[in-house]
Amino acid sequence: MKYRKINENYESSILAFGCMRMPVIDGKYGDIDEEKAIEMIRYALDNGINYIDTAYPYHEENSETVVGKALKDGYREKAILVTKNPVWKVEKYEDFEKYLDEQLEKLDVDYIDIYLLHALGEERFEKIKDLGCFRFLDEMIEKGKIKEAAFSFHDKKEVFPKILDSYNWTLAMIQMNYKDIDEQATVEAIEYAESKGVPIAIMEPLKGGQLANLPESITDIWDDGKNMTPVERALRWAANFKNVKTILSGMSTLDQMKENIEIAARLEADVIAEEESKKYLEVKKAIEARIKVPCTDCKYCMPCPAGVNIPGNFTNYNKAFMYEDIDIAAYTYQEKYKDEQRASACIECGKCEPQCPQGIEIIDRLKEVDNLLSKPYELNEDHWRL
């Protein structure tokens, strides 16, 4: 296992275990298979992974409890324990510590090594800033309940520097993979954070498993004799940034963990030369070339009078073709969208179509979305690899 220095107190394994997709029973997200999950966490800690990441809402608020059980019998001392404050639940200053205390109890520990304010965007950040989040972090560090303060980010790239510059953060976590270099924080965020001396942790390096399941017609683009799997290609790209100190993977099986640990031993910074870097861009473009509906997510069609998430439906539909994976798109459509958000809820009022700059025949295309994504689906283990 390779390690990278976060600060004077912590050195993290380049591969981290994200405990949001642990094994479950009968496909029920909130019903963790504790025996298998604990086996995976302890295997990780016994085989070089020391960064264990969880959060308040994971597995319907059950992840922290299972992680706490796994850290018994001397395993707490092996771990950099990371969890996140559910800031969307905070309505008054006292709520910050209330949720932290609940997390400490569920984890059955005296302190958290790295404590994140979870999923910050501009609106959420302004809210918790007014509620005193920085005072809370300072007080918790002084009390010894947390050792280091950090945040995870989900918003447009313009918002990232504003949050980064607001406090003396130990770490910032961003969503990043070679397909999403133009979305959310972007590569610019990694570089800006480095200029400010703030290390980066990356989540979703495999884009929810989609980059682990690329068709051969796309993976053949590399054709460089390196004989790497799509998983290794994606992790290699993320690890190439020296300011990326750890890469989270939401592994769901012990076999996935063993594969990723083997790959992690080969991960280095500054090893992707110009020619290989161009290949990553070619793969990105090849994925995007499979887009079926030319929606740019401008949202001119919104709000829909019936409540349909028009651009969201098109984005999900496009992904089915971009990654040749209808099952995960159907799962998202059926399980993650509310009834009124689905394409099937369209009432054909026609108000959206005159507003579309791309001239998309929205009503007909929504029918195509529903026809494809309302069919039965079947997921496999790789669908849960983040």
For the four alpha carbons of 345, 348, 349 and 350, in that order, the dihedral sign comes to positive
**In angstroms, rounded to a whole number, what is the distance separating the alpha carbons of residues 44 and 384?**
18
Residue 297 has pLDDT above 90, yes or no: no
Highest mean pLDDT among 259-268, 289-298, 319-328: 259-268
Give the other-Cβ count within 10 Å of 38's Cβ.
20
* Residue % of the chain over a pLDDT of 90: 78
pLDDT at 385: 61
In this structure, are strands 112-120 and 11-13 parallel, antiparallel, or unpaired? unpaired
Whether the Cβ atoms of residue 205 and residue 238 lie closer than 8 Å to each other: yes
- Residue 245, classed as helix, strand or coil, is strand
DSSP β-bridge partners for residue 16: 248
Residue 273 has pLDDT above 90, yes or no: yes
Residue 223 has pLDDT above 80, yes or no: yes
**In angstroms, rounded to a whole number, what is the distance separating the alpha carbons of residues 371 and 369?**
6
pLDDT at 267: 98
Residue 270 has pLDDT above 90, yes or no: yes
Q: Please, which pLDDT band fits residue 383 given cuts at 50, 70 and 90?
A: low
Considering the entire predicted model, what is its pTM? 0.84
- pLDDT (mean) for 20-37: 90
pLDDT at 186: 85
Q: Which residues contact 201 (CB under 8 A, 6 or more apart)?
A: 12, 16, 51, 53, 150, 171, 172, 173, 174, 244, 245, 246, 247, 248
Highest mean pLDDT among 3-17, 180-194, 201-215: 3-17
- Residue 200, classed as helix, strand or coil, is strand
Cα 328–chain centre separation:
16
Q: Copy the structure tokens of residue 301.
A: 């069609």
For the four alpha carbons of 351, 356, 361 and 366, in that order, the dihedral sign comes to negative
Residue 386 has pLDDT above 80, yes or no: no
Q: Which residues contact 8 (CB under 8 A, 6 or more apart)?
A: none
SS (H, E, C) 101-168: HHHHHHHCCCCEEEEEEEEECHHHHHHHHHCCHHHHHHHHHHHCCEEEEEEEECCCHHHHHHHHCCCC
DSSP 32-54: B-HHHHHHHHHHHHHTT--EEE-
pLDDT at 185: 85
Mean pLDDT of the chain: 93
pLDDT at 384: 61
**In angstroms, rounded to a whole number, what is the distance separating the alpha carbons of residues 52 and 67?**
8
Residue 248's φ and ψ, nearest 5 degrees, are -80, 135
pLDDT at 319: 87
Half-sphere exposure for 179 (CA within 13 Å, toward CB): 23
Residue 307 has pLDDT above 90, yes or no: yes
Whether the Cβ atoms of residue 213 and residue 323 lie closer than 8 Å to each other: yes
At the top level of CATH, which class does the domain 3-281 belong to?
A: alpha beta
Residue 322 has pLDDT above 90, yes or no: no
How does pLDDT run across 175-188, given as a tens digit for each residue? 999 998 888 888 99
pLDDT at 58: 92
Residue 97 has pLDDT above 80, yes or no: yes
Q: Where are the domains of the chain?
A: 3-281, 310-380
Residue 156's φ and ψ, nearest 5 degrees, are -70, 155
- pLDDT (mean) for 303-307: 94
DSSP β-bridge partners for residue 12: 4
How does pLDDT run across 109-150, given as a tens digit for each residue? 999 999 999 999 999 999 999 999 999 999 999 999 999 999
Residue 163 has pLDDT above 70, yes or no: yes
